[in-house]
Amino acid sequence: MAQQVKRAFRYRFYPTYEQAVELSRTFGCVRLVYNMALEARSQAWHNEQRSIGYVESSAMLTAWKKTEELAFLAEVSSVPLQQGLRHLQHAFSNFFGKRAEYPTFKSKKKSRASAEYTASAFRLRNGQLTLAKMREPLSIVWSRPLPVGVEPTTVTVSKDAAGRWHVSMLCVDTVESLPVTDAVVGADAGIASLLTLSTGEKITNPKFEYRDRERLTKAQRQLTKKQKGSKNRDKARLKLAKIYARITDRRRNHLHTVTTRLVRENQTIVIEDLAVRSMVKNRPLARAISDASWAEMRFMLEYKARWYGRELVVVDRWYPSSKLCSHCEHRSAKMPLNIREWTCGNCGTMHDRDVNAAINIKQEGQKIVAAGLAETQNACGADVGPQRRTPGGQSATKQEGRRATAGIPAQ
């Protein structure tokens, strides 16, 4: 079965000097308009108990362009500025829906420099992308082709901390579901091994941050020695950002490889609901947990399972997967982290801690699926699986929009 999803295709590009200047000005204007609208909305509420929406914010933008001190806003494309206001409206919607914190101001140094163009502000012809207010097309490195017969709905241009320029094209793509299989796998996340599967296989954790830690530490020390505001500090900051970018790119590539393989080989994937935010408060393990990037891996599994017709089952975080014997279900009183192998006191079965946990997670996931299917059949007579719940009360099928690559179902 095929379904349509919104899918982003990101490419590197190398702007000319004029294009870089124009895009940098656009980034600054988008950030300024966002911050001014946020301040206006906050003051209107605190001072007058009055709510300002997108329409009124858009009218304020028109008025700002007519003032002498903000006349430069009219020199860049109006579309990215309007999109910035839409993003602010979306941020407030998430806040009032209790899905996010109150919106914060964008920082020139810390916030992502980006601008979003809708279809009216760009032209894609014969593999050449031209943005509004630009004479020449962008020099894009087409690392992979766009889907045949598909036109981008929006184009987002960004520049990361390492100085790399990217263009992301959001398209409505058709994705074919994978053939149905009976394979079910349980996966236990860890640090020594990134994942331990119920089959007994252990997927190695590359520990990319740990492998580059010496270079990272040296670059951080060099940065602290440079005078603030100097050119040498900017060079040191760029060097440090490139190391971080290298770590992030390699980690993301590895996670894509692992998650794609799991989705292709299994019909049902069972994982544990890990409280990563709480776990990183453990200082001795915080760095290793962050390097493993369990939350990112779960996010990839969620949208890939949704794309390809697979089911991702999330077991409750309080389920004692490590303490239970997968053979007789006897529960041990304690199971410290330093114990990697143990023998069941009831049946005498010897267990590898991680493999045993993965088997328990798989078995619990199968129970959840069976119970859920039974409830659904009794309720409406249809063999339809229930939605899995995730932290914060959101369904796993509704965690959309966190990144353009999430594969949002097309409306």
- Does one domain contain both 130 and 193? no
Question: Is 236 part of a structural domain of the chain?
Answer: no
By three-state DSSP, how is residue 148 classified?
coil
Per residue in 248-264, pLDDT (tens digit) is: 999 999 999 999 999 99
- Does one domain contain both 169 and 84? yes
Question: Is 37 part of a structural domain of the chain?
Answer: yes
Per residue in 24-48, pLDDT (tens digit) is: 999 999 999 999 999 999 999 999 9
Query: What is the total count of domains within the chain?
Result: 2
| Inter-CA distances, 322 with 3, 92, 286, 325, Å | 38, 41, 21, 8
* List 22, 116, 173, 188, catalytic entry: 188
- Does one domain contain both 348 and 289? yes
- Does one domain contain both 195 and 117? no
- Does one domain contain both 13 and 53? yes
Instruction: Yes or no: say if 324 and 330 are a contact pair by the CB < 8 Å rule.
Output: yes
> What kind and span of H or E run contains 173?
strand 165-176
pLDDT at site 407: 41
* List 272, 291, 302, 364, catalytic entry: 272
354 is catalytic: yes
Average pLDDT, the chain: 88
Per residue in 311-336, pLDDT (tens digit) is: 999 999 899 998 899 889 888 888 88
pLDDT at site 69: 95
Per residue in 172-220, pLDDT (tens digit) is: 998 999 999 999 999 999 999 999 999 999 999 999 999 999 999 999 9
- Does one domain contain both 301 and 359? yes
pLDDT at site 393: 37
Question: Is 61 part of a structural domain of the chain?
Answer: yes
Instruction: Yes or no: say if 411 and 153 are a contact pair by the CB < 8 Å rule.
Output: no
pTM of the model: 0.84
- Does one domain contain both 151 and 272? no
pLDDT over 90 (residue 135): yes
Between CA 363 and CA 233 the distance in angstroms is 54
Question: Is 30 part of a structural domain of the chain?
Answer: yes
- Does one domain contain both 16 and 163? yes
Neighbours of 215 (CB within 10 A): 14
Per residue in 145-182, pLDDT (tens digit) is: 998 888 999 999 999 999 999 999 999 998 999 999 99
DSSP letter (8 states) at residue 345: T
- Does one domain contain both 193 and 125? no
Question: Is 255 part of a structural domain of the chain?
Answer: yes
Chain centre to alpha carbon of residue 384: 28
* List 22, 209, 354, 364, catalytic entry: 354
How does DSSP assign 89-128, residue by residue? HHHHHHHHTTSS----PPPTTTS-EEEEEEGGGEEEETTE
Instruction: Yes or no: say if 189 and 195 are a contact pair by the CB < 8 Å rule.
Output: yes
| Inter-CA distances, 358 with 170, 258, 306, 308, 335, Å | 37, 16, 22, 23, 15
Residues 289-300, mean pLDDT to the nearest whole number: 94
Containing domain of residue 160, as a range? 2-176
By three-state DSSP, how is residue 280 classified?
coil
Question: Is 66 part of a structural domain of the chain?
Answer: yes
pLDDT at site 19: 97
- Does one domain contain both 37 and 150? yes
- Does one domain contain both 75 and 122? yes
- Does one domain contain both 320 and 194? yes
Question: Is 49 part of a structural domain of the chain?
Answer: yes
Question: Is 324 part of a structural domain of the chain?
Answer: yes
The rounded radius of gyration (Å) of the Cα atoms in the chain is 25
Q: Which of 112, 144, 176 corresponds to the end of one domain?
A: 176
400 is catalytic: no
352 is catalytic: no
